[in-house]
Structure 1
């Protein structure tokens, strides 16, 4: 009874862990009437920046050139999003030093010619989160994944395992290969490549913009890439290949034959077994054979 109770407890724990994996974290982004996530927002942030001596006369331009312009269209980890623009730059008098005339001053040390000060700025951010639902334009179709463009700017992809099982990929023939260099799209989008097309469970061709759910977010080198899914979280595990432990694998006979070094016999191939000749006992011990003519002459 104790063993049964322990096994049931382990099964319940495993099912709870699987349920936790299936349920994605809830996004904090608002959702519009179409059910799509609104990932654009404005965030006001403070920064401690340096000003080069050449920008002392106009520090705002120096702040833009040195610190804010390089952030545009890059992933900013502190804001957890891509900076699309900025506005309302203010030198923060509350945290910066002031002189007797209540003017903001930037301290300069003998170790560096740069001056330092606090600023506040409004950043326009695109902050996608795991669990958000977005729409992406299909720009690449292959049997292994879909390539998408979100807002005609950001890359996303959907791997084969996160495409519904009742969808089918129909490959192009050799003379049907589509390339934007030879056949530009009517919408003006370039770099569209198609190795075939997907059809859904109704037999309709999948094209244009499709909604998907963000499954993971990859950030590398201040760039962002999304990995999406078209399968609901509770069905993701059902879409994976299943391997039954109690059934013998089809490759088991092949593996056993290879391991034993014997010939593999197929159903349609007659195999004649040829017995190996018995080894002579004389061949069991090494010896020398005298083939010289000197022994005969003696």
Structure 2
């Protein structure tokens, strides 16, 4: 996680490739090109593009004729496209919406589409910082100024112990809200078991549940 602003992982790439045109589409090679990219490659990770294909445009053939080699039924022709890909890299800062909190990890949704996960080992706790200091051979304390997090089990999703409330109306409103959120989580097959909080009580993700984090792999 980081206090710095998130950056965009979207990239525009111009790619060339050899297109295999099936016999049924020899009369319409552009349809063959569009069908392959729309039905087989869209929203998939493509190693040649080093990212997930989001959209494509500016399709063109690099040669005016196709070739059929040997006894093959497919004609091949070099082609090119302009592709929009989502390609985050190690060290890049992204922003995600918190969707799940457990003692082992938190799950995020980036751009409402891509899943990300932050392991609890990357959320510094008082125990992990103490261990790092005891193992350090430097005179300077490691992780100086690092925020210390702890996982709070069994509390309401707004970070307040519902049994500690004396206001019956507020308790009812919170319970209703929690039931609605639990129903949404159960539909997705996921359920938070608590939340991560700082020593001062601040909750991971803040009021809007958004987290800026650093890609490490």
Q: Distance in 2 between matches of 1:181 and 1:125?
A: 37
Aligned-partner SS, 1:57: coil
State TM-score, norm by structure 1: 0.52
> Given that residues 49 and 67 in structure 1 are in contact (C-alpha distance below 8 angstroms), is that contact kept between their aligned partners in structure 2?
no
Say if 2:196 is the partner of 1:198: yes
Runs (4 or more) in structure 1 with deviation over 4 Å come to none
What's 1:161 paired with? 121
SS at match of 1:84: strand
Greater relative CO (CA pairs within 8 A, separation 6+)? 2
Residue 153 of structure 2 aligns with which residue? Answer: 171
Paired residue secondary structure (1:73) = coil
Aligned counterparts of 2:155 and 2:199: Cα–Cα separation in 1: 22
- Aligned counterpart, 1:209: 210
Counterpart for residue 89 of structure 2: 129
Q: Root-mean-square deviation (CA), in Å? A: 2.7
Change over 3 Å in CA distance of 1:120–1:181 after alignment to 2: farther
The equivalent of 2:5 in structure 1 is 35
Whether the 8 Å contact between 2:152 and 2:195 is mirrored in structure 1 is yes
Contact (CA 8 Å) 1:136, 1:150: kept in 2 or not? Answer: yes
TM-score by length of structure 2 reads: 0.70
Counterpart for residue 145 of structure 2: none
Written as runs of structure 1 = structure 2, the 5 A alignment for 1:97-116 is 104-116=64-76
Unaligned ranges ≥5, structure 1: 1-33, 94-103, 217-298
SS of 2:180's partner is coil
CA contact (8 A) 1:198 1:206 kept: yes
* Equivalent residue, structure 2, for 1:90: 60
**What secondary structure is seen at the aligned counterpart in 2 of 1:183?**
helix
Give, in whole Å, the separation in 2 of the partners of 1:156 and 1:199. 20
How far, CA to CA, are the matches of 2:53 and 2:153 in structure 1? 39
Selected match of 1:59 from 22, 29, 40: 29
Q: Distance in 2 between matches of 1:134 and 1:66?
A: 30
Question: Are 1:140 and 2:100 an aligned pair?
Answer: yes
Q: Distance between the aligned counterparts of 2:155 and 2:95, measured in 1?
A: 29
Report the secondary structure of 1:193's partner residue: coil
Per the alignment, in what secondary structure is the counterpart of residue 134 of structure 1? strand
What CA distance in whole angstroms lies between the structure 1 residues aligned with 2:178 and 2:62? 52
3-state SS in 2 of match to 1:70 = helix
Cα distance in 2 for residues equivalent to 1:173 and 1:136:
23
The 1:202/1:128 distance shift into structure 2, 3 A limit, reads: same
